[in-house]
Amino acid sequence: MILTLYRGLTTIGAPLISMFLARRMARGKEDRLRFGERKGAAGIARPSGRVVWLHAASVGESLSMLPVIERIQAQPDTTVLVTTGTVTSAQLMAERLPDGAIHQYVPVDRLPWVRRFLDHWRPDLALWAESEFWPNLLIETARGQVPLVLLNGRISDRSFAKWSRHARLAARLLDCFVLCLGQTPADAERLQALGAARVACRGNLKFAVPPLPADEALLAVLRAELAGRPCWLAASTHAGEELAVGRVHQTLAAQHPGLLTIIVPRHPPRGAAIAAELTELGLAVAQRSAGQAVGPHTDVLLADTMGELGLYIRLAPLVFMGKSLIGQGGQNPLEPARLGAAVLFGPHMDNFSDIADEMCKAGAAERVEDEDGLARAVSRRLVSPAVVADFGAAARDFATAQAGVLDAVLDELKPWLSAKDAVDEGA
């Protein structure tokens, strides 16, 4: 009943959907130049040979899929088509996709647009990352006899409770997949409980992601600008956290002369508003997107640019991961861990709960409860570079402990990645 209603509403609700998309475009959340892709109109011709379509919702999911994309793209006569739904993820994919791979925006989940997308691309295999289940897109793909595999499937406690209330819908959507690979054994159990027929867990693909890149020349310039000043980084912050980080800086500045706080917001377009907030707080801010250099009296370097997080993690070996003080689920702590940074995060790490718990148990991270706890944790580390180095080494060891996960996942995909007759057999 719910599925029938949904499919009907997305068919007859074209005017409302168009109004919603127009509002998103006005706020910069849609790509005006490539908007046709959101309606299923391809921005590029389908290449010859096999097309493996991989869908990842946004930045985090698409980054975790890069190793899979690279390995599949390296196969002969095969092109990987990557779809994401956000402008930020499209910009990131433009920088990080291997040669030959194609990025398109995922079509909005209306039947005419979904069918237009599928008719053009005719994928031979579809790989779905994590937990974004669009009913029309899944059902139409499966109806076209395209094998669907869920990679790194994640079902949080909250999502499991929600899907359990709509058990028939969950089972219908999961029935579209020929295989569901959970991030963790707990995710695999939840997928099976919700109705997935074939389930396994071969590890978390987030552990297979290579370290974030950095421009070495720019890193040398920034290190010269800092001239040995103590510094720490607040990475992937969300609204409200920047002010908290600014207050932490004010608390610590007298105890740690010359302290520089670096803030990398998750959404760079917020940079001007963040700079205004921090300036009103009384802090001297150098805004990276405005080309402002760090001076001797700069309190905060606001790195409101795309694709430079790896640069700032290398610059500041003490990293607080955002979206964790404000109760929205946290950001990926493996990103700084891979680069040997000492990692801190707040109490709200629901999106990475298993990783966060295991990191704390292994001495590879510390969880702080609030703004005051963050100030204390940062201060303890600023006075002891040796402690920072020890935490960083433990973090790197933790982040590299599952080096074999990529091979294990690709082994599971072999029946569908080989010749077409093997695809039919596997399905």
Active site residues: 61
Rounded CA gap, 183 and 351, in Å? 11
Alpha-carbon torsion (270, 271, 275, 281), positive or negative: positive
Q: Crossing angle for the helix pair 2-12 and 14-26, nearest 10 degrees?
A: 70
Q: Which residues contact 126 (CB under 8 A, 6 or more apart)?
A: 52, 53, 54, 55, 141, 146, 147, 148, 149
61 CB neighbour count, 10 Å cutoff: 24
| One-character DSSP codes across 27-94 | TT-S-GGGGGGGGT--SSPPPSSEEEEEE--SHHHHHHHHHHHHHHHTSTTEEEEEEESSHHHHHHHH
Q: Which residues contact 26 (CB under 8 A, 6 or more apart)?
A: none
Please name every residue paired with 320 in a beta bridge, in sequence order, or none if there are none: 234, 344
Backbone angles phi, psi at 180, to 5 degrees: -120, 120
The pair of structure tokens assigned to 329 is 């689920």
